[in-house]
């Protein structure tokens, strides 16, 4: 929800670094980003 708060302020890009842990990058890509996308879609009413 904190990332959603930034989106509400107009921030639409983040640099999220998991380097050197590729597993962390995969976890964010598969677990966090879909949740953020869903929350943004809900806010937009889509």
**Tokens 């590729």 identify what position?**
22
pLDDT of residue 22: 86
Q: Say whether pTM exceeds 0.75.
A: no
With H, G, I as helix, E, B as strand and everything else as coil, classify residue 40.
Answer: helix
Domain ranges of the chain: 2-44
Closest CA to 32 of 12, 11, 3: 3
Residues 28, 37: Cα–Cα separation, whole Å: 12
Higher-confidence residue of 15 and 38: namely: 38
Tell me the per-residue pLDDT of 24-45, one tens digit each, with 9 for 90 and over: 888 889 999 999 999 999 999 9
């Amino acid at each position: 929800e904190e990332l959603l708060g930034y989106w509400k302020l107009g921030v639409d890009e983040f640099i999220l670094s998991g380097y050197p842990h590729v597993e962390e990058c995969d976890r964010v890509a598969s677990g966090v980003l879909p949740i953020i996308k869903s929350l943004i879609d809900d806010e937009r009413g889509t």
